[in-house]
Amino acid sequence: MRRGQYWLALALALAAAPLWARTQQPAVSKAAPKDAAAVARQRAEVQRLRHDVAAQESGSEAAAQRLKQRDAEIADLQRQLQAAQQAGAATGKGP
């Protein structure tokens, strides 16, 4: 092939590339609805998981609050017991 023909063939190939790409787009656009549906499903799943995590966190916070309240009640009962024991010991040491 001569040099001129080579450059001409290269120029034609480069000019035809965008036309060839346009003819391939319908195949790509047919896949787009499937991709969009997959993305929508994944987004819905992410939303569901976020909701589940938020519910679990809320439950954990409520449980932690109940434990703090019970710890405070136990500490109060221990103080009352200690006070009762000291009062009993004081009365037992009598005259």
pLDDT score of 70? 98
Question: Which domain, by its residues, includes 76?
Answer: 39-88
Q: Which two tokens stand for residue 77?
A: 């009962």
Domain count within the chain: 1
Residue 70 is assigned to a structural domain of this protein: yes
Measuring CA to CA, which residue among 51, 73, 71 is closest to residue 63?
71
pLDDT score of 2? 64
Residue 47 is assigned to a structural domain of this protein: yes
Q: Which two tokens stand for residue 56?
A: 């679990």
pLDDT tens for the chain, 95 residues long, are 566 777 778 777 777 777 666 555 555 566 688 888 999 999 999 999 999 999 999 999 999 999 999 999 999 999 999 999 999 888 865 45
Radius of gyration, CA atoms only, the chain: 39
Residue 32 is assigned to a structural domain of this protein: no
Residue 66 is assigned to a structural domain of this protein: yes
Torsion of the alpha carbons at 73, 77, 79 and 82, rounded to the nearest 10? -160
**Model pTM?**
0.48
Residue 46 is assigned to a structural domain of this protein: yes
